[in-house]
Chain A
Amino acid sequence: MGKKRNMILGALLLLAAILAIVILEKQLPPTHIALMVLKKGCIYSLVAVSMNLLNGFTGLFSLGQAGFMLVGAYAYAVLTIPVEARGSVYMYFDGGIINFSVPMLVGLLASGLAALLFAWLIGLPVLRLKSDYLAIATLGFAEIIRAFFQWDKLGVITNGSNMLRKYPTFNSTLFPFIASAICIGIIVLMIHSSYGRAFRAIRDDEVAAEAMGINLAKHKRMSFCVSSFFAGIGGGLLAMYQGSIQAAAFKSAMTYEILLIVVIGGLGSVTGSCIASFLFIASSEWWLRFLDSEMTIGSFKVPFLRAGFRKVVFSVIIMLIVLFARKGIMGDHEFSIDGICRFFRNLGKKKEVKS
């Protein structure tokens, strides 16, 4: 019964969110920072959840996320640029060799599939490695992918190190919200399926998982591929959000950012990753922005405030969370109405005990 109630509550929450977005879009000018934050937050939620699937639920410490996002972003852009625009985009490569284009949603699906293909190939050798070796090897692969996509010889497809642009994008915040919600929904369904349990078993104890008949190689590869598939879709969405993409932007710094989001939200918590994504994007792009401009209160000039200070404060906050709140916002729990009720009830109880 509780399950049914939770599902209804969840659906209501989702509807409320959609309604809120529709109202916000009506009220605010389309370039308002809040809408930007919402769009980017949705995309980062998806990417962070997909990384959490690997790092938090399967216990595989992979740092290849930016690489798979790059593959997804390029797959989307390359396939969806309208034929008539190709001449101007691929100006150094005679319009490229692809002379068709696919609809937006097909392109988005293709971005996931392309990332999945890369993940499958990379996973064959890399997933045999343990913990930090896996981390460094996936990081290495992400760098290789980045170099590969900037290669001149592939310019007829990837436009070399030049920008890709003029592909279809979205205007409404609803699009990334719904796309991310569907993808995250699928990930959640999987985490709660028999396979999700197997992933968590691998995280808890590889040797015991194997003794329970779980094929390590197969399940690790599954988790890796699924995670990359959704990272690819996230990359496609990011390409749509930005309007133009360049391989050079998908550096390891991007992976680190996503990893920090996952850690702040809590390894092993989907809702934690989502909450952390919005907080991360909102604070880095919006709420802390005042730190970047000089400010005088009366005749007092506040020291330190100038361009770049925001990021310093921001990274100090992150370090504090990493050091002192190691479990992140949610630990490995999920956000739920019940959880909130319990939280307040416990709070009440504690007060009673004190008084």
Chain B
Amino acid sequence: MSTNVLRVEDVTMQFGGVVAVDNLSLEVNEGEIVALIGPNGAGKTTAFNCITGVYEPTNGRVSFYGKELVESYPHGRMKKTYIGENGGRYTKRVVPTPDKITKAGIARTFQNIRLFSSMTVFENVLIAKHMRAKQNLLTATFRLNHAEEKRMREETLELLKMQHLDHLKDEIAGSLPYGIQRRLEIARALATEPKLLLLDEPAAGMNPQETQELADFIRQIRDEYKLTIFIIEHHMDLVMQISDRLYVLDFGKLLAQGTPEEIQNDQRVIDAYLGVSEDA
């Protein structure tokens, strides 16, 4: 049994009266590629946002390598309007900002690419090195940390070379083709030296060949960087091909979980995706 990396327990996210993620529990173990799938609007990205600190979950807990990362319970106005489950189970509020979570070792990409569009490819990746650098405003301004800055630049270049992006390093990120922007976003996430990588629809807008390349690429970075990968994806070929296990989300609720074969044969999943006809 390998080590548990990410554990999500009873996470519920309620916006006003709408429950976007409903009592979601899941686990991701070391070295696995786990996928989170579900129809549009099922709450997949919201779940990611709860894990990465963009949203504070209304209720529930997220732990990382056995240590508690995020925890919350319905408070304030939500106390009365909460309609999810396990209302009384959690009593602490631990709500780190997204940067703390990145620092703890969880990196992510975004569904709609979010690069620093006016900066160069090199700078985009170099930014990720900022948080772990030993420096402060004074040493950085007056170049007293020359060695540190040099190290950051070398590491960045190294990473770009490995991702075959080094020939583009002086291009402005916003002007790159879509596919390369996606790769750059993943490279940038890798530069934060994560243990767990969350990919939000990395194959969106890609053709079958590009999707196949992406599948190889994801496996390759998992092995090279000893990563655990948690991925949201719509391309079923990709998901079935690379993931060790899957979780299926529908209307915010966990519908099914299991290996690709199990999920492919699960009647509920097929219904959720294809719909159930009235007279069936």
Task: Tell me if chain B binds chain A.
Answer: yes
Q: Which of A's residues lie within 8 Å of B, judged by CB? A: 186, 189-190, 193-195, 197-198, 200-201, 203-205, 207-217, 222, 226, 332
User: Which residues from A are CB-within-8-Å of B117?
Assistant: 204-205
User: Whole-angstrom distance between the alpha carbons of A217 and B108 in the complex?
Assistant: 20
State the B residues within 8 Å of A (CB).
Answer: 52, 54, 97-100, 102-103, 107-108, 110, 114-119, 123, 126-133, 135, 137, 140-143, 149, 152, 188-189, 192
A213 touching B128 in the complex, CB below 8 Å, given contacts A204-B118, A205-B114: yes
Query: Are A195 and B127 in contact (CB-based, < 8 A)?
Result: no
In the complex, what's the smallest C-beta–C-beta distance from A163 to chain B, in angstroms?
A: 36
Q: Are A201 and B102 in contact (CB under 8 A)?
A: no
Q: Which residues of A contact B54 (CB under 8 A)?
A: 207, 210
Complex interface: chain B residues within 8 A of A215 (CB): 97, 99-100, 131
For residue B124, give the distance in angstroms from its CB to the closest CB of chain A: 8
Give chain B nearest CB distance to A221 CB in angstroms.
11
Question: Which one of B118, B131, B135, B152 contacts A212 once the chains associate, using CB atoms below 8 Å?
Answer: B131
Nearest CB in chain B to that of A207: its residue:
B114
Chain A residues with Cβ below 8 Å from B188 are 212
A210 and B110 contacting across the interface, CB-CB below 8 Å: no
Question: Is B115 in contact with A213, judged by CB distance below 8 angstroms?
Answer: no
B112 CB → nearest A CB, Å: 10
Cα A217 to Cα B97 with chains together (Å): 10
- Contact check, B140 vs A214: say whether CB atoms are below 8 A apart: no
**A201→B192 contact, CB < 8 A:** no
A197 CB contacts on chain B under 8 angstroms: 119, 123, 126-127, 130
In the complex, the answer to whether A213 meets B119 with C-beta atoms within 8 Å is no
Q: How far is the CB of B210 from chain A (nearest CB, A)?
A: 23
Considering the chains assembled together, what is the distance between the CA atoms of A332 and B119 in angstroms? 11
User: Chain B residues with Cβ under 8 A from A212's Cβ?
Assistant: 99, 102, 127-128, 130-131, 188, 192
Report yes or no: A213 in contact with B137, Cβ–Cβ below 8 A: no
**Min distance, Cβ A124 to any Cβ of chain B, angstroms:** 16
- B46 CB to nearest A CB, Å: 14
Contacts of B137 in A (CB 8 A): 190, 195, 222, 226
Task: Check A194 against B133 for contact (C-beta < 8 Å).
Answer: yes
Give the residues in chain A near B149, CB-CB below 8 Å: 193-194
Smallest Cβ-Cβ distance to B149: which chain A residue: A194
| Residues of chain A lying within 8 A (CB to CB) of residue B114 | 205, 207-208, 211
Q: Is the CB of A214 within 8 A of B141?
A: no
CA distance A205 to B123 in the complex (A): 14
CB distance from A328 to the nearest CB of B (A): 15
Q: How far is the CA of A197 from the CA of B127 in the complex (A)?
A: 7
User: Taking A210-B98, A210-B99, A211-B52 as contacts, is the C-beta distance between A193 and B116 under 8 angstroms?
Assistant: no
